[in-house]
Amino acid sequence: MKPDPLADHIRTVPDYPKKGILFRDITPLLGNAQALTEACRRMAEPFQTSPPLFVAGIEARGFILGGIVAQILGAGFIPVRKPGKLPAKSVSREYALEYGSGTLELHQDCVKKGQRVLLVDDLIATGGSAEAAVLLLRSLGAVVESGSFLVDLPDLGGRQRLEKIGLKVHCLLEYPGE
């Protein structure tokens, strides 16, 4: 199998944010216009025949990729934020991370019942943040059937976790053994 040229733009940083973690840094990809354009085009591609009304991106790198994917698909964008950053009434959900815990929030009025949303983020590790985002969106009535991600770390089980809640997962790159 031929290596994916996008992988040349992903930097591995050992022991970040803590010892034993191999952090997949996408900032080199973000800094390369051609690689960024290609990645977002490929992340959007499976959804172009039946685009969602919204793309939801998880703070922070999911904002960058999700905003571009939304533009490609002609969809609106929903920011999935960290706590305390939304000015209007919001809903929140706590989740476990590979190296701690976190909380995500959405505005209560960001989506109406039955509206289709595509979830976008840079990476799936344990799947905790993506699962929390999906469950938050669904709690507001959104139909969230699919997620598009740049990187999957399959040995951490995130894809399986998301598939268990009925999310179809599309990933461009995999880094087994992480």
Catalytic residue numbers, as ranges: 61, 98
Residue 25 to residue 29: CA distance in whole angstroms: 9
Is there a contact between 131 and 139 (Cβ–Cβ < 8 Å)? no
150-173 per-residue burial string, b: 16 or more CB within 10 A, e: under 16: bbbbeebebbebbeeeebebbbbb
Degrees, nearest 5: CA angle 54-56-58 = 170
Those residues whose C-beta lies under 8 Å from the C-beta of residue 32, and which sit 6 or more positions away, are 9
Residue 97 to residue 128: CA distance in whole angstroms: 6
